[in-house]
């Protein structure tokens, strides 16, 4: 049994830019578009090809089961017109830690929506759920993801060879951590990290 007192369904979290809420069947078509985008295929572990059946299975089966078990907490990220921008989750929830994972469609990238969603999720994880550690893991070369972690306050990332599995192959990655006691803003100048 999870020591954390976790809800069994997603609360709605909102700011002036985005709303995090439960995924629904209304999100299926946009989720398919987001998950077949070449950037998503390259930098995430979504199935490929990604079909409407995959989207329905994720929304109607995987997400509710993960919430009930407390193993992963997933949200839809909508703009205030109700359009699905992407998904965000607290994955691999264990003890008082979790990993942040997200996938936004090309229509949402560069709008600040991912930063807003991450800040909402970070505040909720630390201030409401009582987590003490959040982790960010990005494939080597996914500098947009690493830069996003920097924007929301994650510490200097560490290079880990062969840590991530994607479709049967091992890939190098960058791993960063944010503590509940840490500032939630960028504390250093942005630079592309180097493994050497």
State pLDDT tens for residues 29-48: 999 999 999 999 999 999 99
Q: List, as own/partner pairs, every contact residues 64-67 make where C-beta atoms lie below 8 angstroms and the sequence separation is at least 24, other chains included.
A: 64/9, 67/7, 67/8, 67/9, 67/10
Question: Quick check: 51 and 19 in contact, CB under 8 A?
Answer: no
Q: How remote is the C-alpha of 32 from its chain's centroid?
A: 17
Q: For the chain, list the domains and their CATH numbers.
A: 13-179 (3.40.630.30)
* Whole-number Å distance between alpha carbons of 140 and 137: 9
State the pLDDT at residue 2: 45
| Token pair for 74 | 């997933």
Number of H helices, E strands in the chain: 6, 8
pLDDT tier at 187 (50, 70, 90 boundaries)? confident
Query: What is the per-residue pLDDT across 77-109, written as a single tens digit (0 to 9) for each?
Result: 999 999 999 999 999 999 999 999 999 999 999
Q: What percent of the chain has pLDDT over 70?
A: 98
How far apart are the C-alpha atoms of 75 and 2, rounded to whole Å? 20
- Residue 30: other Cβ atoms inside 10 A: 19
């Amino acid at each position: 049994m999870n020591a954390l007192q976790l809800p069994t369904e997603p609360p709605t979290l909102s700011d002036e830019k985005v709303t995090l809420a439960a995924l629904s069947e209304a999100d299926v078509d946009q989720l398919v578009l987001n998950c077949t985008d070449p950037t998503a295929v390259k930098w995430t572990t979504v199935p490929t090809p990604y079909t409407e059946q995959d989207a329905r299975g994720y929304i109607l089966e995987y997400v509710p089961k993960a919430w009930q078990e407390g193993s992963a907490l997933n949200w839809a990220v909508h703009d205030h017109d109700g359009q699905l921008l992407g998904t965000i989750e607290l994955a691999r929830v264990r003890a008082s830690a979790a990993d942040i994972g997200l996938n936004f469609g090309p229509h949402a990238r560069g709008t600040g929506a991912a930063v807003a969603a991450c800040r909402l999720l970070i505040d909720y994880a630390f201030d409401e759920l009582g987590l003490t550690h959040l982790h960010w893991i990005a494939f080597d070369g996914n500098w947009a993801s690493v830069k996003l972690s920097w924007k929301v306050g994650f510490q200097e990332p560490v290079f880990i060879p062969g840590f991530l599995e994607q479709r049967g192959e091992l890939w190098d990655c960058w791993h960063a951590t944010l503590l509940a006691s840490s500032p939630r803003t960028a504390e250093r100048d942005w630079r592309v990290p180097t493994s050497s």
